[in-house]
Amino acid sequence: METLKYPAGRFQRKDSYTPEELKSFIEVLRKFPEDLASVTKDITDKSLNTPYRPDGWTALQVIHHVADSHSQMLTRLKWTLTEDTPTIKAYHEDLWAQLSDYSLPFQVSVDMCKGIHAKIVNILENLDDAGLSRQYMHPESGKLFDLKTVMALYAWHCAHHLAHIQICKKS
């Protein structure tokens, strides 16, 4: 079950990241909309409605979730760069997945990711070390996240959910 839940492994937060790692995170984020479009290009209705694990989301829910989650990343990124250590707002992704927009065609969220990621990558590429070291507070964990860690987390998130969609396609 662990492999189905975390096919890319669990996120491993590090204390620091090398410049090479940061560049690789940006490249993952830059390429993600293309990867998402590619993995969904030939997806069938059966695969879209298949959960990646028992009691897990369907591929369709995963695709819509990624657009929502990465839009949250963009907002959190902007808060962090324009406020002093903001406390972000958490959201109930499980409840969002039950809203009517998750029944829209998956292409809506694939298209959203293109614009969201263009903005994210543009901002991240224009930050110096001081900008990337800015932090936000997550209200549920009480932990501080610097933007370097946020980059790592969302690069992992891309691989995590692309793997979920691949599992649905193989079912």
What does the domain layout of the chain look like in residue ranges? 2-6+16-170
Q: What is the pLDDT of residues 102-144, one digit of tens each?
A: 999 999 999 999 999 999 999 999 999 999 999 999 999 999 9
Instruction: Please list the residues that pair with 146 across neighbouring strands.
Output: 135
Helix ranges (DSSP H) in the chain: 2-5, 19-40, 45-48, 59-82, 93-96, 106-125, 129-132, 147-170
Q: How far apart are CA 75 and CA 146, in angstroms?
A: 14
Q: Alpha carbon of 130 to those of 32, 50, 153: distances in Å?
A: 26, 44, 19
As a whole number, the mean pLDDT across the chain is 97
Residue 171: pLDDT band with limits 50, 70, 90: confident
pLDDT, tens digit, 9 for 90 and up, residues 17-58: 999 999 999 999 999 999 999 999 999 999 999 999 999 999
Taking the C-alpha atoms of residue 122 and residue 161, their distance in angstroms, rounded to an integer, is 23
Q: Which tens digits make up the pLDDT trace of 154-168?
A: 999 999 999 999 999
Burial pattern 78-95, b for ≥16 Cβ within 10 A else e, equals ebbeeeeebebeeeeeee
Dump pLDDT digits (tens) for 81-94.
999 999 999 999 99
Predicted local confidence at residue 146, as pLDDT: 98
| CATH homologous superfamily of 2-6+16-170 | dinb family like domain (1.20.120.450)
For residue 58, give the DSSP letter: B
Confidence of residue 2 (pLDDT cuts 50, 70, 90): confident
Tokens standing for residue 104: 């829209």
User: Residue 29: its pLDDT value, please?
Assistant: 98
Phi, psi (degrees; rounded to nearest 5) at 136? -125, 160
Q: Average pLDDT, stretch 69-74?
A: 98
